[in-house]
């Protein structure tokens, strides 16, 4: 899952070396939180107009997680 998020974000940004993902331990509800860190000047590319790209990233991650019987959440830091 971490690799999927890195590949999605790396395709969007100008500086793919700055893409970092930190994974938290699952909560009591079983939700694993993925924190996506990108370069400051690439933040707009990852969020998109009105957050559409960020929402699309979250949808793809949730769909991939559901195939593995997991619950995930993506936060863009």
Once rounded to an integer, what is the mean pLDDT over residues 2-7?
94
The pLDDT value given to residue 57: 96
Residue 12 · residue 76 · CB < 8 Å: no
User: Does the pLDDT at position 5 exceed 90?
Assistant: yes
Residue 73 · residue 55 · CB < 8 Å: no
Q: How confident is the model at residue 77 (pLDDT cuts 50, 70, 90)?
A: confident
pLDDT in tens, 13-56: 999 999 999 999 999 999 999 999 999 999 999 999 999 999 99
Is pTM, for the whole model, over 0.85? yes
User: How many domains are there within the chain?
Assistant: 1
Which residues span the domain enclosing 49? 2-76
């Amino acid at each position: 899952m971490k690799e999927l998020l890195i590949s999605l974000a790396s395709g969007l940004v100008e500086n793919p070396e700055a893409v970092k993902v930190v994974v938290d331990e699952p909560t009591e509800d079983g939700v694993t939180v993925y924190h996506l860190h990108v370069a400051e000047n690439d933040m707009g590319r990852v969020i998109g107009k009105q957050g559409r790209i960020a929402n699309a990233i979250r949808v793809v991650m949730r769909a991939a997680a559901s195939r593995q019987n997991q619950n995930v959440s993506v936060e863009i830091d």
